[in-house]
């Protein structure tokens, strides 16, 4: 099996697993308990919070642990700031569907054919009572990196909170991105930590209402016993992802470029590479005349890739990202996303192109 779907999920790193193990078995206390076992778990959470804060350049009290990116996105788009939200049309479903539940309502920000959210498009989507702008740092289908610096200036000038889904942005400088935003969302399983882990980071002074009512956890803003082992693993993975990000990015870029060169050589103008200003680890292709069930054929031939976002791959609907970029319904159903990880090898790339060529033939 060749796995080129690291944007869907990653395996857990050995170092991450080792850090988690004690909290799954022997050191199993509830961090809210006041006895020694609880205090030990609470200490682990507090150290993890400090590690996450250090990796992002924020205060530990600005970090709220969640069950992953979907919860962080929902929480942000429903409960941050006041007034209407302006939400880019290429956001992950967790933001777009969450926005429908925002009491004050929301407006869509259109994108360019390359998937870029221009500062002008943001400005024209703003209403007098817009209090929140949601623009992801990098798109999960195309890898397009959005101009958050310019967008953050627009928001600052107008006193609007900028929230960014940074789930796919671990190859970028997360300290810089966090510095530009009022809040960011992160997910553990995209960065070699377990599924069901992540965080919403909200800067001091930004209004945040609770989404999950319950206990007093996370400064009484997010009820639920903390996933101690998951939090410990997430912190180790985030610290490592940022420390090694230039090396990982260079590795992915070399392989992504090799992949795209080979694909261009094999298919010429029968294939289009979607998106502009892209992350180094994602390649989204649309074939001019893709055979039916291409993904299933690739799967049978041993190649694991996605048709856009993994979480909507059971749906026969066209990709909302491709539609927002102006593609036809047919084209928006036939995209294939290849995404590369730190374990990906040149051998796998060459083999993947061979499989792709045979399946398209």
Question: Residue numbers of the site for ligand PLP (CB under 6 A)?
Answer: 68-70, 73, 92, 94, 136, 140, 165, 167-168, 187, 189, 198, 309-311
Q: Which is nearer to ligand PLP, 40 or 168 (CB)?
A: 168
CB of 339 to ligand PLP, least distance (A): 10
Q: Where does residue 159 fall: left (phi above 0), alpha (psi -120 to 50 degrees), or beta otherwise?
A: left
Q: Which is nearer to ligand PLP, 186 or 232 (CB)?
A: 186
Please, are residues 344 and 4 in contact by the beta-carbon 8 Å criterion?
Answer: yes
Identify the CA nearest to 165 among candidates 242, 79, 74: 74
CB of 166 to ligand PLP, least distance (A): 8
CB of 140 to ligand PLP, least distance (A): 3
Identify the CA nearest to 335 among candidates 51, 172, 141, 166: 141
Q: Which is nearer to ligand PLP, 145 or 167 (CB)?
A: 167
Q: Which is nearer to ligand PLP, 309 or 332 (CB)?
A: 309
Encoded tokens for 169: 């942005």
CB of 90 to ligand PLP, least distance (A): 10
Q: Is 311 a catalytic residue?
A: yes
Q: Which residue number places its CB atom closest to ligand PLP?
A: 69
CB of 198 to ligand PLP, least distance (A): 5
Selected catalytic residue, list 166, 252, 311, 359: 311
Q: Which is nearer to ligand PLP, 271 or 282 (CB)?
A: 282
Question: Which residues have a catalytic role annotated?
Answer: 311
């Amino acid at each position: 099996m060749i796995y080129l779907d690291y944007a869907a999920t990653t395996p857990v790193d050995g170092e991450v697993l080792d850090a988690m193990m004690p909290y799954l078995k022997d050191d199993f206390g509830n961090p809210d308990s006041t006895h020694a076992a609880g205090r030990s778990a609470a200490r682990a959470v507090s150290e993890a919070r400090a590690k996450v804060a250090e990796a992002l350049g924020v205060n530990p009290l600005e970090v709220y642990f969640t069950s992953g990116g979907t919860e962080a996105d929902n929480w942000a788009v429903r409960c941050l700031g006041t007034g209407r939200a302006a939400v880019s049309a290429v956001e992950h479903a967790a933001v777009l569907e969450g926005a429908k539940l925002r009491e004050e309502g929301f407006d869509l920000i259109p994108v360019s054919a390359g998937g870029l959210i221009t500062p002008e498009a943001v400005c024209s989507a703003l209403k007098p009572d817009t209090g929140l702008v949601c623009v992801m740092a990098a798109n999960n289908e195309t890898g397009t990196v959005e101009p958050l610096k310019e967008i953050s200036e627009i928001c600052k000038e107008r006193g609007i909170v900028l929230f960014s889904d940074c789930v796919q942005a671990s190859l970028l400088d997360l300290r810089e991105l966090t510095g530009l935003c009022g809040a960011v969302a992160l997910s553990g399983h995209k960065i070699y930590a377990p599924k069901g882990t992540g965080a919403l980071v909200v800067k001091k002074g930004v209004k945040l209402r609770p989404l999950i009512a319950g206990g007093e956890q996370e400064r009484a803003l997010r009820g639920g016993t903390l996933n101690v082992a998951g939090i410990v693993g997430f912190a180790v993975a985030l610290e490592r992802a940022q420390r090694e990000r230039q090396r990982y990015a260079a590795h992915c870029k070399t392989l992504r470029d090799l992949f795209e060169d080979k694909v261009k050589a094999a298919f010429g103008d029968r294939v289009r590479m979607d998106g502009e200003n892209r992350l180094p680890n994602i390649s989204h292709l649309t074939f001019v005349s893709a055979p039916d069930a291409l993904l299933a054929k690739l799967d049978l031939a041993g190649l694991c890739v996605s048709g856009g976002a993994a979480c909507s791959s059971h749906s026969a609907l066209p990709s909302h990202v491709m539609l927002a970029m102006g593609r036809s319904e047919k084209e928006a159903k036939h995209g294939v996303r290849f995404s590369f990880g730190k374990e990906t090898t040149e051998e796998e790339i060459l083999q993947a192109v061979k499989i792709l060529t045979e399946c398209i033939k």
